[in-house]
Structure 1
Amino acid sequence: MLHLRVKDACNVGKSLVSFFLFKAEMSTEAGDAIETHGLAMDKDKSRVQCNYCGKEVRGFNRLKHHLGGVGNDVAACIGAPDDVKARMKDLLLEKKKERLLKEVGEIYHPDLPLKRHVSPPLSNPKRAQLKLTHPFPASSYGEGTAEMRNRLSQNVIDHAGPSQSASLGKGKNAMESNKSGNPFGGIHISSTSSKMEDGDVIVKEEVKDDSFSHVAKLIGCFFFEAGIDPNVIKLSSFQKMIDASIRCGFGFRVPRHDELKGWILEEQLKEVCKHVENVRSCWERTGCSILLDGWSDQQGRSLIRFLVNSPQGTIFLRSVDASDAISNADALFVLFSKVVEEVGVQNVVQVIAHEKSCYMEAAGKKLVEKYRSLFWTVSADYCINLILEKIGMLDHVKKVLFDAKCITRFIYSHLLPFELMRKCIQGSYLVRQSNLKSISDFLTLGNILSERENLIYMFKSEAWSSSELASRPLGKKICELVNDPFFWASTADVTRVTIPLIRVLQKIDGGDTAPMGFLYDAMDRAKEGIKGNLGGEEARYLPLWSIIDEIWDNYLHCPLHSAGYYLNPNLFCSNDFFVDTEVTNGLLGCIVRMVEGHSSQALIVPQLEAYTLLSGATLNEIAVEQRSKMPPAQWWASYGHQSPELQKFAIKILSQPCSGASRFKLKKDISELVHDKGRSCIEQQMFCNMEFVQNNLRLRDTPLYCDPRDCIGPEDSFLMDDWISKG
């Protein structure tokens, strides 16, 4: 815990408020006229390319700094017109001045610069002076006020942060350097009727920035001392905690550890249970999918975690120690059957496995035989990772990956190349992470290709050429590799193959709707994309198609994917919609297994005919217009009322995911603690409650579908070790 004095805690709170307001204000400024000067490289606008020099920066706000040449950590644009540079610089400085006036009051000197490095030359070498309004008589500057001078000096140092404290705390030398005789250096004090505690200290922006830095360091101190993953700061509950503690003001008492484990945990448990029940209430209408997530811990135990996904949200049920069942298909079948019964057989559309072991597959077959209405599938991201893994084993691809890893290992293992890399690629990194190994490899390879020009420039720079590393054999080898056109051509060929497959993952995991209606079409388009990228040469693309078809036929494909493709109105009405035996058999198989009773099945047939012929109320003019603007399941809920049996069937299929539980990146340590032995019943129940609360809170605040490039947790950092070190 952070043990702060009450006064310090108040200062920290105020600084946090200012800091978050400052960040929010800067983020809203970035998207106005500045967008005409750059091109967003992704939908989140997190990467922006300058229109004048082609450099990529992180967002439109940094583009504004790039064009204006303002900031130490942003390279100035070399191609922007002078009027654009001047305009951006003026806008940035004016905004900073407005915020400074608003937050800390009126500046004593109207021409006080905002930053030292943009200050005009001063005829007087003394530091710019600031005004402190405070009832301190001029006669008090004598020897008799030493205690008060020390107290005020210490107060200034406390507010200045570490860097200002160093400059203000030089003692005798600082006093002697002040020729005016003022013992407080550059701070002027005027006599008023206000009290000292209510005085306003007017500081330059760098002092304000230092106070923010001081607060940020205190937060960092807590994180590092407690061993907390820095990604935790992204949780919405962290900001809510900060805001609530600021509103409490003076006298706020941090809860004791026994309170956290006692009544606070109980209250959170009640809140989470309400959320879980709310999610459960939609299962009967939309159906749901049981997601399996398994791993082996350091003790050699095989643990399995059960999640349930639906359009209303994803919830955590429980975790089990399956060490005694993992190699026994019958034991796994019994375990899975209990979970299906708990969720409700009538609600479960599919069980998505996290892997395809022989025991897991055998248990899945037994489960489907017992419960004919549900399907056993394997996670799509796991299967696409298998496809990329097999592609990575091809000789020419293996050579490209080996060479690329030589480059990154060299850069990340030596200080000078690492610093040059950070400067040349705008503070970013070459290595990209994902929770799946092969996807990480090819994301990183694609990122290296996108930074080709920057890397070549880096190894031709004076800083590199004049370094000792450049004359060493390894340095020469890496430099030659970076400047080798054949390496870059081979890298481009590999990315042409892998990018279409990674886009499938982005389609099914990075969208805002359930992907069941899109996977079948996305995989077909990926194959066609690979064919087109390789010039339609059969000798080049057919071996890759064979790899994809092998995984599709033996691992990934399920009748649900075919039915989802057929029932997706956006795809169904497209010009390139194609129905083959795989699609029709998949659709009919789902009807037979999921629709109860021959009478209901018979009613669906004419409703399907109306849908197929684009006639009747199922597809009126408004429905046709909205088919590409709404998620497929929502479209059926809105426009399928006159075909109730088909509507219910379509909604259940189109509401399901294709990927497993790994994309949610739930922490494993709490589940591992739950299954430790030797606790009392009360302690064991407390740990179970903590696991239930933690996982469901994380799931509640996590988007149902997110970009796989963001699916990375601290437990997966080992995936990229071979890109950074030889191991």
Structure 2
Amino acid sequence: MSSSAGSRGSSGCGDGGGGGVVLGSGVSKVQKSACGNRRAMGWGNDDSVGDARKFECEYCKKVILGGIPGLKGHLEAAHKETGAHRFVSYEFELGKWEMVPLLQERWINELGEGDEGASSEGGKRKRMKGVDSPSTNIIFRKNLKGDACKTIASFFYNNAIPFSVAKSDEFKEMVDLIARHGIGFEPPSDHEIGGKYLEQQVISTKKIVEEHKIFWKRTGCSILIDGWTDQKRRTVLKFSVNCPYGTIFLKSIDAFDINKSVDKVFKMMDDIVEEVGEENVVQIVTDNNASYKAAGKMLMEKRKKLYWTPCASHCIELMFEDFEKKIPLHKETIALGKKITAYIYSRNAIISLLHQFIRGKDLVRPAMTRFATSYLTLGCLNDKKGALVKMFTCKEWKSSQFAKTKDGKFIENLVVDGRLWKNIGICLRAARPRLKVLRLVNLDEKPAMCFIYEEMHQAKEKIQKSFNGVKKRYMPLWDIIDERWDNQLHMPLRAAGYYLNLQIHYSPKFKADFEVTRGLYDCIARMGGNVEERNKIHSQLENFNNRSNYFGSDLAIGLLRKHTPGTWWDSFGFEHPELEKFAIRVTSLTCSSYGCERNWSAFEMVHSKRRNRLKQKKLNDVVFVMANSKLAKKKQARWVARPANEHNIDYLSSDDEWIVDSDENSDNFDLDTPNEHIFVQIGENAGRVVGGSKDDLEIPDFDDDEDNDDEDNDGEDDMEDDDYDGHDLKYLLDI
């Protein structure tokens, strides 16, 4: 590079003065000439042509007008081109970044000097020469961030990446590490991502699995089998293993042919038990369909020390399904709720209006299961009742084109009519206790095996109380619950877990009925070991029942509710080793097979078509790493407060019936039918439970006092129409 100071003349140099650093093809100091500043970025990339406002670019030999600003603009615009300018890119960008801290430091120093003494001319500060305005860095960074964000957004659009990925911790950590590296970061190639780095992740994940296996030997474990069938009737099954230390994902398989045969299902179960180790397995948890039930019995015949148990989450979900399908009031109220949400979420203008009243929150509350979503969403509608009524009575709505359509009038009448909210309250009184049990078994915050027996009993009592003890109100609900409980949920392991739960056993209300005692001794006979060990367990139970020895110590009693039952037995059962081992394996169990990642699209990708073995192995490795990574985060989240919007409307599929008005829903309601006809149908044509209760399912108005004289009434005052406590529902929104 060359530059001639003398050829510039001695005047007309308005590019600023002061000290600095020149960054050209190399980083070197350039002396200041008489004409002014040669330290500004861009010097060293030019040759003088004898005019202070004209320079020749050393890269392309083009004459640039406008002095240093013109040269800077030329280099900035041309550094991405090929040819002569391909070498200026890194050098010029590096110069810009290295100039920033120098300019900032100089500006701060000279600003301090300017504060000490202002110019005597009008009290104005002296202009600092040789330093750019502090806004230069801000503007430069703002523009750079905008370009980066646009590029990231384009990456999402062009590769069909879900927008929710931007919320993930990995995405934020990736961006942060790239920013720390700075200019010149080279991303990994596709071969490195699918090769070296994938292998590293697989090795790390397998180490985590080995850590879990250590706990399996002491606490026992549960094999969880969860399945999904896609629109092409392909069935994917995934296998995971749960213990108090957490849940790990083992593998997934294409089970299209397996589910057709009980023998094949049995072999599949038997193989996975062999893989995990029969001595470690206490139970295998699956859905409740006939093939799994039959195969589970066959497995218990072969494997004498373990149990097959149906998934509690699935059983409770079936209860909700029965509520909706067998009780007309529930069916019609949920259908009307879907009508309201689908109408709103199908129209952008109404969504914008809605958010003005509900402050950006959603009306639909997705849950892990379909029918739980229905009742949680009814709860959300109930919580937003006031906001919805205000929205459909405000001036903006009344003056809109939607308010003049028959659809809009129908929805408006639904919302402002108090009978809908009354029916929603009735549905929620029946569903809320069940939702709490579902939350218990799904979140895995504590071993559900010890608590589900008691929670189910308390849920029935709460339903009875919420309907004021009137049999014809709560008995149809009880009949549905009892049918599912007796056939699917009442299992020996759950009875034994109830008996061995210190928090329940040492309470004054504890009572071991025949079913509980029989379940306990069934488990002892199956899991207690040889005859001598079983006899010892039986004798040690006497000390446990009587709180003898260390069972009754102040420390042990004081920590009953500060430990999970399994950790309590591990701490205070040392005087009774046989009973301790048995109790730990029973009280450490889960009840649900939903413990693994339920992102079925990833599993479907692995099994959607035939591939060569190398590519299939890579896909299996990707799912293995992904599923276990998500499970590890779920484990860490146990001790962290859950964000209120962890599950939002984005988790619903784009064609979900709660946000898209289906033809089926439209046919169910004639938009020209007056609303009073609909509510008469709900209130008066309640009918009976199909194949269920013998009692009349008609639910009278809650303000009708004639039921106060009913012999089944517990004497409490009737509840108001809309006295459902919506705040309690917030506790359930983590399902």
Scaled by the length of structure 1, the TM-score of the pair is 0.71
Q: Deviations over 1:384-413 (max 9, x none)?
A: 110011111211111211221221122122
Q: Residues of 2 paired with 1:495 and 1:720: CA distance?
A: 22
Q: Residues of 2 paired with 1:189 and 1:500: CA distance?
A: 74
Tell me the residue number matched to 1:81.
Answer: none
Q: Residues of 1 paired with 2:645 and 2:490: CA distance?
A: 24
Q: Residues of 1 paired with 2:400 and 2:589: CA distance?
A: 56
CA drift of 1:264 comes to: 1.3
Q: Residues of 2 paired with 1:570 and 1:628: CA distance?
A: 6
Q: Report if the CA contact (8 A) 2:388-2:415 is conserved.
A: yes
Gaps of 5+ in 1: 1-132, 159-187
User: Do residues 301 (structure 1) and 237 (structure 2) align?
Assistant: no
Q: Deviations over 1:408-427 (max 9, x none)?
A: 12212223322121111110
Taking a change above 3 Å as real, the CA distance of residues 457 and 676 of structure 1, as seen in their structure-2 partners, is closer
Which deviates more from structure 2 when the two are superposed, residues 472-481 or residues 237-246?
237-246
Letter in 2 for 1:410: Y
User: Do residues 365 (structure 1) and 297 (structure 2) align?
Assistant: yes
CA drift of 1:153 comes to: 10
Q: Residues of 2 paired with 1:591 and 1:493: CA distance?
A: 43
Query: What secondary structure does 1:660 align onto?
Result: coil
Q: Deviations over 1:83-141 (max 9, x none)?
A: xxxxxxxxxxxxxxxxxxxxxxxxxxxxxxxxxxxxxxxxxxxxxxxxxx98999x99x
Q: Residues of 2 paired with 1:326 and 1:700: CA distance?
A: 30
Tell me the residue number matched to 1:622.
Answer: 555
Q: Report if the CA contact (8 A) 1:136-1:190 is conserved.
A: no
Q: Residues of 2 paired with 1:510 and 1:359: CA distance?
A: 27
In the TM superposition, 1:24-103 aligns within 5 A as: none
Taking a change above 3 Å as real, the CA distance of residues 209 and 518 of structure 1, as seen in their structure-2 partners, is farther
Tell me the residue number matched to 1:444.
Answer: 377
Pairing partner for 1:590 from 493, 499, 523: 523
Q: Report if the CA contact (8 A) 2:362-2:649 is conserved.
A: no
Q: How many residues align?
A: 557
Q: Residues of 1 paired with 2:511 and 2:425: CA distance?
A: 31
Pairing partner for 1:390 from 315, 318, 322: 322
User: Do residues 721 (structure 1) and 657 (structure 2) align?
Assistant: yes
Tell me the residue number matched to 1:241.
Answer: 174
Tell me the residue number matched to 1:668.
Answer: 600
The structure with the largest alpha-carbon Rg is: 2
Query: What secondary structure does 1:530 align onto?
Result: helix
Taking a change above 3 Å as real, the CA distance of residues 226 and 612 of structure 1, as seen in their structure-2 partners, is same
User: Do residues 251 (structure 1) and 184 (structure 2) align?
Assistant: yes
Letter in 2 for 1:261: G
Taking a change above 3 Å as real, the CA distance of residues 641 and 389 of structure 1, as seen in their structure-2 partners, is same
Letter in 1 for 2:471: E
Q: Report if the CA contact (8 A) 1:665-1:711 is conserved.
A: no
Query: What secondary structure does 2:656 align onto?
Result: helix
Query: What secondary structure does 2:225 align onto?
Result: strand
CA drift of 1:429 comes to: 0.9
Pairing partner for 2:278 from 345, 355, 373: 345
Q: Report if the CA contact (8 A) 2:365-2:647 is conserved.
A: no
Tell me the residue number matched to 2:356.
Answer: 423
Q: Report if the CA contact (8 A) 2:247-2:596 is conserved.
A: no
Q: Report if the CA contact (8 A) 2:447-2:590 is conserved.
A: yes
Tell me the residue number matched to 1:147.
Answer: 70
Tell me the residue number matched to 2:434.
Answer: 501
CA drift of 1:437 comes to: 0.8
Tell me the residue number matched to 1:703.
Answer: 635
Q: Residues of 1 paired with 2:184 and 2:126: CA distance?
A: 31
Q: Residues of 2 paired with 1:200 and 1:421: CA distance?
A: 40
Taking a change above 3 Å as real, the CA distance of residues 251 and 676 of structure 1, as seen in their structure-2 partners, is same
Taking a change above 3 Å as real, the CA distance of residues 246 and 712 of structure 1, as seen in their structure-2 partners, is same
Q: Report if the CA contact (8 A) 1:517-1:565 is conserved.
A: yes
Q: Deviations over 1:191-226 (max 9, x none)?
A: 4445x7x9773659xx98887666554433322322
Letter in 2 for 1:326: N
Q: Residues of 1 paired with 2:419 and 2:233: CA distance?
A: 45
Tell me the residue number matched to 1:577.
Answer: 510
Letter in 2 for 1:531: Q
Q: Report if the CA contact (8 A) 1:636-1:651 is conserved.
A: yes
CA drift of 1:631 comes to: 1.1
Q: Report if the CA contact (8 A) 2:453-2:495 is conserved.
A: yes
Please provide the CA RMSD for this pair. Answer: 3.2
Tell me the residue number matched to 2:692.
Answer: none
CA drift of 1:344 comes to: 0.8
User: Do residues 603 (structure 1) and 539 (structure 2) align?
Assistant: no
Pairing partner for 2:457 from 524, 534, 540: 524
Taking a change above 3 Å as real, the CA distance of residues 229 and 696 of structure 1, as seen in their structure-2 partners, is same
Letter in 2 for 1:380: A
Letter in 2 for 1:667: N
Q: Deviations over 1:461-495 (max 9, x none)?
A: 11111222222222222212111111111111111
Q: Residues of 2 paired with 1:337 and 1:478: CA distance?
A: 54
User: Do residues 433 (structure 1) and 433 (structure 2) align?
Assistant: no
Letter in 2 for 1:366: M
Q: Residues of 2 paired with 1:618 and 1:581: CA distance?
A: 24
Taking a change above 3 Å as real, the CA distance of residues 152 and 255 of structure 1, as seen in their structure-2 partners, is closer
Letter in 2 for 1:343: V
Tell me the residue number matched to 2:267.
Answer: 334
Q: Residues of 2 paired with 1:189 and 1:387: CA distance?
A: 80
